[in-house]
Structure 1
Amino acid sequence: MSTHVVRRRLDRAAMKQRVLIVEDEFLIALDLADTIETMGLTVTGFASGRDNALDFAPFADIALVDINLSDGATGPEIGRELSQRFGVTVIFMTANPEQLGGDTGRTLGVLTKPVMPHVVEQAVDYAIASRVGGLAAVPRELQVFPHHRA
């Protein structure tokens, strides 16, 4: 199923989704925001570390979370807290996926950087589908964590 078809099916639900970007590299964060906004979604905020991310958590549905941030390798902890405490669907984006370790909480999966914009779109479409019970193909670049596999 093409991304275009999936997006058409999810348009109504997708338009309501708010995305938090947890990334300390300014240019990467801006590129992600551009991709998200091009999809018709709202970027609810930018965070470069744990405190900022938790401030934005109540306003987010989906979060793209890097592992190594301005306050250290806090991404895994942030992702677990966003998903467990706030019900946010978390996709990790990192050049170092091995840093995630075994306990990923209820987070969705991980993309290995660098990530092309179309892959971000496909991963976010998949995240939306997982939130609203829709159908979407898993992008081959997204390593979905075992607790999220059908």
Structure 2
Amino acid sequence: MCRILIVEDQPLIALCLEEAVIELGYKPAGMAPNKSKALSLGANADVALVDVNLLDGPTGPEIGKSLAENDVSVVFMTANPEQLGSGIPGTLGVISKPLLDIEMVQAIQYAVDRHENRIAACPKRMIEFA
């Protein structure tokens, strides 16, 4: 069963993401509001949904890069996609917040499919990184 890490400092958003993960039949690998917690939980994750700006500042890109280097499939979810420039090496892409429930589900499923090496169409509102 795919384990999904939620890196988000806003508790309500993190809980909504966790609920979506569970409803889709996947296992939450934990919730992290900052870099240290995210990296400590990253060893138990297959996929990570990562916000850019967290409690400890704009550490999301560093988190995403580090997780991707450890074979975690990373999708950024942020209200500020321009902060990622042309992308973070090894990560899948970014989707802009706020998200509709269906967009959240599509982003999660896309990341899982890519992690499991299945062909997956990039969700419409997601910017895929090369």
TM-score by length of 2: 0.95
1:115 deviates by 0.8
Please list the CA deviations of residues 19-56 of structure 1 after superposition, one character each: whole Å capped at 9, or x if unmatched.
00000000000011111110011111010110000100
Aligned partner of 2:76 in structure 1 is 92
Is 1:134 aligned with 2:118? yes
1:103 deviates by 5.0
2:104 to 105, 117, 120: 120
Aligned partner of 2:21 in structure 1 is 36
> Which stretch of structure 1 is more off in the superposition, 49-58 or 117-126?
117-126
1:101 deviates by 2.4
CA distance in 2, matches of 1:42, 1:31: 14
Structure number with larger C-alpha Rg: 1
Distance 1:54 1:27, change over 3 A: same
What are structure 2's unaligned runs of at least 5 residues?
none
Is 1:69 aligned with 2:22? no
Amino acid at match of 2:61: P
Amino acid at match of 2:52: I
1:131 deviates by 1.7
CA distance in 2, matches of 1:64, 1:103: 15
Aligned partner of 1:105 in structure 2 is 89
Amino acid at match of 1:104: I
**Size of the alignment, in residue pairs?**
130
CA distance in 2, matches of 1:120, 1:101: 22
Is 1:24 aligned with 2:3? no
The answer to whether the 8 Å contact 2:49/2:76 transfers is: yes
CA distance in 1, matches of 2:78, 2:42: 20
Amino acid at match of 1:140: K
CA distance in 2, matches of 1:137, 1:100: 21
1:130 deviates by 1.3
Aligned partner of 2:65 in structure 1 is 80
Amino acid at match of 1:50: K
Runs of 4+ in 1 over 4 A off after TM superposition: none
**Percent pairwise identity:** 45
